[in-house]
Chain A
């Protein structure tokens, strides 16, 4: 039975109001992993795998066609290309979309090491701030990743505060300022990325509501990494967000 135009208008107006609350959010992901630095002294084993693993998780969890991503590994992951990727890919996002930056590789207090140079967290934050998205996440699997918080107590506070007025910003770091981020040859990914990907696949969904929240993510990853590392590595999460902020929706 075809409904009357009058009823259709009612239904449409109601649906449009209701559907405005339904998230058709897209996810934009820039995943960077540098294992093979110039020369051999600084080489790592797993960061390139880390980046690809995170991409795989998001590809599986996001509805078909709703994930836009780019992966930069090793020699592709130059300072310039990383910064442009963040700026240009995240610029596609709308207000309700989610932007995620993932990095795995060497780090230092205040930033991380691209293939050809250092990138400060401040630079990354500035690049991400250009995005319209109000749901921004940064996952960093690098030594001394917690240093972004130390810097944040100075330079980042003002800058992040401005961004935070407009957006949820969640920064999840693999280790404290004075800790290393560990990896093991018996694993396919570093400690942090291993538990991060497991969490994003649903292991962190403790209340089985098919949504992994920020708090669920932290508790799972922090507990797992601290336990597996024998207390040598403690992920840290900070930013402007609620404990219940959805990080990812689990698809059955």
Chain B
């Protein structure tokens, strides 16, 4: 898309009145002079990291407990010396990430699809703080798969095997974790993308300890309500945040059961064949329009945005349920609709050739 820079420059100069201060001139910042931005300030605090440290999954100082999903129902399946923490199956529903970029942008997001060996990060099953082991194949036994995943990512990781998602903690490691640490691990998963663990055929079950019920031991306070504001409870805005509105509260057109509704008039427009009704609702004007002249109003126009004007895009469609001309008292301009039916030749058989 070409842009006329010259006319744009004029327009931009007119915008100068919007601002109270004129920015200082910094020749070094000129794009025309091969501008290079100044160095971003370096702050003392550590920058957030998206790392693959397994300790992040276990540390109580790791990312927020307000995870993306509910506390999971995870089953433990002991396999030999290890414990595969069965988290569930990859949900069949997928969500495509839409990215609008120029055709030559090489950073376009690929469509995410569920597959046997999915990129669990890419399809949103877990975040980048949980390492995913990809050196696992379905033709391995579970013991082999667990060992391979463990060797690849260590404890606190995750892998997919035969359609199910497993953690890589051992029994000892898992049992030694506090409830907070376990919840922290769970919080790295998007439980909306994980189906409940199913009975996996051919899954070796050497022993099956009691089903772990995290809900019993995890703080319920960490439910998604943490991300949802309390219903109907107004959130106060701190005094140091200056909040403003753009003018006085408007009075958009509204109607309630207690509204006083008066029909001002109903008229017919012979040029268009349409019928119009003007009504007053609590003193606010509205126009009903019967576009096709079938004596039933099709939509209503009113000042819905409260800007004092009824613009062409301020209308509500009656969806075929609008009132009729007769229900509003008939035409007030004396118009008498004709009773002639429109000619319908659809069923005519012409036999007089």
Contacts A1-B263, A185-B23, A214-B100 aside, 19 further interface pairs with beta carbons under 8 A come to A1-B262, A9-B257, A18-B318, A21-B316, A42-B38, A44-B29, A58-B246, A65-B248, A66-B246, A66-B250, A130-B229, A132-B229, A153-B122, A154-B127, A155-B129, A164-B95, A180-B36, A188-B18, A240-B97
> Does B9 have its Cβ within 8 Å of any Cβ on chain A?
yes
Q: Let me know if A159 and B68 touch, CB within 8 A.
A: yes
Q: Let me know if A219 and B128 touch, CB within 8 A.
A: no
Q: Let me know if B246 and A64 touch, CB within 8 A.
A: yes
What residues on B are CB-neighbors of A11 within 8 Å? 255, 261, 323
Chain B interface residue bracket vs A: 35 or more
Q: Give the number of chain A interface residues (Cβ < 8 Å).
A: 128
> Contact string, A155-171, partner B, CB cutoff 8 A, digits 1/0?
11111111011000000
Q: Let me know if A65 and B43 touch, CB within 8 A.
A: no
* A-B residue pairs, 5 tightest by C-beta: A154-B128, A223-B1, A91-B235, A162-B68, A18-B316
Query: Given A22-B304, A66-B250, are A218 and B100 neighbors across the interface (CB < 8 Å)?
Result: yes
Query: Given A43-B38, A53-B15, are A157 and B127 neighbors across the interface (CB < 8 Å)?
Result: yes
> Does B256 have its Cβ within 8 Å of any Cβ on chain A?
yes
Q: Let me know if A188 and B126 touch, CB within 8 A.
A: no
Q: Let me know if B241 and A63 touch, CB within 8 A.
A: no
Query: Given A22-B316, A45-B23, A120-B48, are A185 and B244 neighbors across the interface (CB < 8 Å)?
Result: no
Q: Let me know if A219 and B327 touch, CB within 8 A.
A: no
Q: Let me know if A158 and B99 touch, CB within 8 A.
A: no
Name B243's closest neighbour in chain A (CB-CB).
A70
Q: Let me know if B48 and A15 touch, CB within 8 A.
A: no
Name A249's closest neighbour in chain B (CB-CB).
B313
> Does B242 have its Cβ within 8 Å of any Cβ on chain A?
yes
Q: Let me know if B41 and A64 touch, CB within 8 A.
A: no
> Does B270 have its Cβ within 8 Å of any Cβ on chain A?
no
What residues on B are CB-neighbors of A12 within 8 Å? 255-257, 259, 261
> Contact string, B94-117, partner A, CB cutoff 8 A, digits 1/0?
010111111001010100000000
Distance between Cα atoms of A52 and B19 in the complex (Å):
8
Name A78's closest neighbour in chain B (CB-CB).
B240
Q: Let me know if A42 and B40 touch, CB within 8 A.
A: yes
What residues on B are CB-neighbors of A106 within 8 Å? 37-38, 40-41
- Interface residues in A141-161 by Cβ distance below 8 A to B read 143, 146, 149-161
Name B19's closest neighbour in chain A (CB-CB).
A49
Q: List 9 A-B contacts (CB under 8 A).
A: A3-B262, A64-B246, A64-B247, A122-B48, A161-B190, A188-B15, A188-B19, A238-B98, A252-B311
Q: Let me know if B41 and A186 touch, CB within 8 A.
A: no
> What residues make up the interface of B, taking CB atoms closer than 8 Å to A?
1-3, 5, 8-9, 11-12, 15-16, 18-19, 21, 23-27, 29-32, 35-41, 43, 45, 47-48, 50, 64, 66, 68-69, 95, 97-102, 105, 107, 109, 121-129, 188-190, 192-193, 227-229, 234-238, 240-250, 252, 254-257, 259-263, 279, 299-300, 304-307, 311, 313-314, 316-319, 321-323, 327-329, 332
Name B327's closest neighbour in chain A (CB-CB).
A7
Name B241's closest neighbour in chain A (CB-CB).
A85
**Min CB–CB distance A21 → chain B (angstroms):** 7
Distance between Cα atoms of A214 and B261 in the complex (Å):
39
Q: Let me know if A184 and B100 touch, CB within 8 A.
A: no
What residues on A are CB-neighbors of B256 within 8 Å? 12
A2: contacting residue among B45, B228, B261, CB under 8 A: B261
Main secondary structure of the interface of A (DSSP, over half): mixed
**Min CB–CB distance B305 → chain A (angstroms):** 4
**Min CB–CB distance B245 → chain A (angstroms):** 5
Distance between Cα atoms of A51 and B107 in the complex (Å):
28
Distance between Cα atoms of A17 and B330 in the complex (Å):
24
B240: contacting residue among A81, A210, A215, CB under 8 A: A81
Q: Let me know if A241 and B43 touch, CB within 8 A.
A: no
Q: Let me know if A228 and B3 touch, CB within 8 A.
A: yes
Query: Given A42-B38, A184-B29, are A52 and B128 neighbors across the interface (CB < 8 Å)?
Result: no
Distance between Cα atoms of A181 and B101 in the complex (Å):
16
- Interface residues in A173-219 by Cβ distance below 8 A to B read 176-177, 180-188, 191, 194, 198, 209-210, 214-215, 218-219
Q: Let me know if A240 and B255 touch, CB within 8 A.
A: no
What residues on B are CB-neighbors of A16 within 8 Å? 255
**Min CB–CB distance B32 → chain A (angstroms):** 7
